[in-house]
Amino acid sequence: MSRGGGKGPSLKDKLDGNELDLSLCNLNEVPVRELAALPKATILDLSCNNLISLPSDFCSLMHLVKLDLSKNRLQQLPLDFGRLVNLQHLDLLNNRLVTLPVSFAQLKNLKWLDLKDNPLDPVLAKVAGDCLDEKQCKQAAVKVLQHMKAIQSEQDRQRQRKLQAEREMEKKREAEQRAKEAQERELRKREKAEEKERRRREYDAQKAAKQEMEKKTKKETVQTRKPASSSRPPQPPRHKHSWSRSVLRVLLFMLLCVLCTLAACKLTELQHQPLCISVNTLYEDVVAALQNHKTLQNMLQQNSQQ
């Protein structure tokens, strides 16, 4: 068979009424798009090819009533194989199938089924039985559908149990979360109450201390207003004494510095230095001035005595 645009005409050439025979065509894949364009082909024969799998869009061929996939190499059917709800006759002889998809249970119109010569799961093989005649193949269809419906029901129950368990787990988590939030709210409420109590105690302590200070101030005021039992000379302000002492200390320090400088300039080799020469000259001038001042005082005293 050719690919692309050549497929359509070749399929139409093989169409005989409502039967389309594609057996012995060495097909590696199913031409689903071309088959979908032939809705009249309700009977499809794909036997004796090299099919390993069916594409997922194969299940869109819902017009199929009879399907022959025997003598291929199919390892599995599409998961949504149950979409072929109009299928009545299905031949899967001599493939490599182990299980069937759960959706197989939806093939409610299936009347004939052949699963011989497949490495089926032992349970499924026992349910399917042999298909050596028309009666056995019809029984196989009924039993396999019942078996797959039971599996589907069990899976649905498992899903429901899983959903129920997840809902219960979610409720449990929500309850734990609510309990945790309530505990945190209670903790914050308790901490807030403790903080209020602490601030109230601090306020009471500050108020008591303030009242005590006011009482002490009033008491001292009353005591200062009482007449003194003995008159005491006014005490000079302490800051004046401290200022006088500071000035005196500075003057004494300056005098000490002058004496030390004078001694150094008189008694050491520094007396020939320019600074010491100036100091010695100044000292002699001061001494002379003092002597003149003393002489003047003596003269004044003598004049006053006369």
Domain of residue 38, CATH code: 3.80.10.10
Flag whether 94 is in a domain.
yes
C-alpha to C-alpha distance for 81 and 58, rounded to whole angstroms: 8
Q: How many CB atoms lie within 10 A of CB 41?
A: 26
Per residue in 63-113, pLDDT (tens digit) is 999 999 999 999 999 999 999 999 999 999 999 999 999 999 999 999 999
C-alpha to C-alpha distance for 295 and 100, rounded to whole angstroms: 147
120, 138, 155: which is the final residue of a domain? 155
DSSP state of 87: -
Flag whether 182 is in a domain.
no
Q: Which of 66, 55, 73 is nearest to 21 (CA)?
A: 66
**194: CB partners within 8 A, 6+ apart:** none
Question: Same structural domain for residues 148 and 279?
Answer: no
Q: Which of 166, 82, 165, 92 is nearest to 131 (CA)?
A: 92
Flag whether 58 is in a domain.
yes
Overall average pLDDT of the 284-298 stretch: 75
DSSP element (H, E) containing 247: helix 238-267
With beta carbons less than 8 A apart as the criterion, state whether 66 and 44 touch. yes
Question: Same structural domain for residues 18 and 144?
Answer: yes
128, 155, 182: which is the final residue of a domain? 155
Overall average pLDDT of the 181-201 stretch: 90
Range picked from 7-11, 34-38, 211-215 for highest mean pLDDT: 34-38
Question: How many domains, in total, are found in the chain?
Answer: 2
Which of residues 242 and 164 earns the better pLDDT score? 164
- 252 is written with which tokens? 């004494």
**Secondary structure E strands in the chain:** 15-16, 19-21, 43-45, 66-68, 89-91, 112-114
With beta carbons less than 8 A apart as the criterion, state whether 94 and 73 touch. no
Looking at residue 108, its pLDDT comes to 94
Flag whether 40 is in a domain.
yes
116, 135, 155: which is the final residue of a domain? 155
Q: List the domain range (segments joined by +) for residue 286.
A: 273-305
Tokens 């800051």, residue?
239
Flag whether 241 is in a domain.
no
Flag whether 249 is in a domain.
no
According to DSSP, the β-strands at 19-21 and 15-16 are: antiparallel
Flag whether 2 is in a domain.
no
R_g of the chain computed on alpha carbons = 62
Overall average pLDDT of the 241-248 stretch: 77
Looking at residue 169, its pLDDT comes to 87
Flag whether 54 is in a domain.
yes
Per residue in 46-59, pLDDT (tens digit) is 999 999 999 989 99
